[in-house]
Amino acid sequence: MVGYAFMGAAHSQGWRTAGRVFDLPLSPELAVICGRDADAVRAAAGRYGWAETETDWRALVERDDVDLVDICTPGDSHAEIALAALAAGKHVLCEKPLANTVEEAEAMARAAEAAAAHGRLAMVGFNYRRVPATALARRMVGEGRIGRLRHVRVAYLQDWLVDPEFPLTWRLRREQAGSGSLGDLGAHIVDLAQYLAGERLAGVSAITETFVRERPLPSAPSSGLAAVSTAGTGQVTVDDAALFTGRFTSGALASFEATRYATGRKNALRIELNGERGSLAFDLERLNELEYHDGTEPGTHAGFRRILVTEPDHPYLEGWWPPGHGLGYEHTFVHQARDLVHAVAEGRGPEPSFADGLQVQRVLAAVEESAEKNSVYTPIAA
Interacting positions 328-367 with a copy of itself (CB under 8 A): 328-331
Site for a copy of itself in 69-88 (CB under 8 A): none
Would you count residue 263 as binding a copy of itself (CB under 8 A)? yes
Sheet containing strand 122-125, edge to edge, reads 68-71, 91-95, 122-125
CB of 107 to a copy of itself, least distance (A): 31
Among 119, 221, 233, 305, binds a copy of itself (CB under 8 A): 305
- With CB under 8 A as the contact rule, the residue among 15, 126, 170, 244 that binds a copy of itself is 244
Q: What's the min distance (Å) between Cβ of 118 and a copy of itself? A: 32
Of 54-62, 194-202, 317-325, 360-368, which segment contacts a copy of itself by CB under 8 A? 317-325
Identify which of residues 62 and 369 has a Cβ nearer to a copy of itself in the complex: 369
State the nearest-atom distance from the C-beta of 299 to a copy of itself, in Å: 5
Beta bridge partners of 272: 153, 281
Cβ atoms of 187 and 360 closer than 8 Å: yes
Please choose, from the candidates 192, 9, 233, the residue with its C-alpha nearest in 3D space to the C-alpha of residue 96: 192
Element (H, E) at 70: strand 68-71
What 3-state class would DSSP assign to 241? strand
Cα 225 to chain center, whole Å? 22
Contact with a copy of itself (CB under 8 A) among 216, 218, 234, 295:
295
Torsion on CA atoms 12, 18, 267, 152, rounded to nearest 10: 130
Give, as ranges, the residues between 208 and 227 that touch a copy of itself (CB under 8 A). 209, 211
Pairing of strands 233-235, 289-294: unpaired
Among 36, 110, 286, 342, binds a copy of itself (CB under 8 A): 286
Q: How far is the CB of 283 from a copy of itself (least distance, A)?
A: 11
Number of residues that bind a copy of itself (CB under 8 A): 93
CB of 262 to a copy of itself, least distance (A): 5
Q: List the beta bridge partners of residue 245.
A: 205, 255
Q: How many alpha carbons lie under 13 Å from residue 369 in its C-beta half-sphere? A: 15
CB 53 within 8 A of CB 34: yes
* Backbone region of residue 15 per phi and psi (left: phi > 0; alpha: psi in -120 to 50; beta: other values): alpha
Write down the least CB distance from residue 371 to a copy of itself, Å: 10
Among 25, 144, 198, 303, binds a copy of itself (CB under 8 A): 303
Taking each helix axis from N to C end, the angle separating 78-87 and 102-116, rounded to the nearest 10 degrees, works out to 20
Residue 257 near residue 240 (C-beta atoms within 8 A): no
258: Cβ–Cβ under 8 A, 6 or more apart, which residues?
155, 156, 181, 182, 184, 185, 186, 189, 241, 242, 243
317-to-135, 208, 342 alpha-carbon distances in Å: 11, 39, 16
Q: Distance (Å, rounded) from C-alpha 70 to C-alpha 39?
A: 20
**Rounded to whole angstroms, how far apart are CA atoms 207 and 141?**
30
- The CB-of-190 to a copy of itself minimum distance in angstroms stands at 16
Min separation Cβ 290 and a copy of itself, Å:
8
Name the residue nearer to a copy of itself (CB basis): 85 or 201: 201
> Please, which residue, 80 or 294, has the CB nearer to a copy of itself?
294
Beta carbon nearer to a copy of itself, 243 or 358: 243
- The residues in 154-193 that bind a copy of itself, with binding defined as CB under 8 A, are 155, 157-160, 162, 164
Q: Which is nearer to a copy of itself, 230 or 300 (CB)?
A: 300
Give 26 or 114: the residue with its C-beta nearer to a copy of itself: 26
Q: How far is the CB of 266 from a copy of itself (least distance, A)?
A: 3
CB 348 within 8 A of CB 185: no
Q: Under the criterion CB under 8 A, does residue 313 sit at the interface with a copy of itself?
A: yes
Binders of a copy of itself among 16-55, rule CB under 8 A?
16-17, 20, 47-49
Q: How far apart are CA 318 and CA 335, in angstroms?
A: 12
Q: Of 328 and 347, which has the nearer Cβ to a copy of itself?
A: 328
Residues 94-153 that bind a copy of itself (CB under 8 A): 136, 140, 146, 150-151, 153
Question: Minimal distance in Å, beta carbon 379 to a copy of itself?
Answer: 10
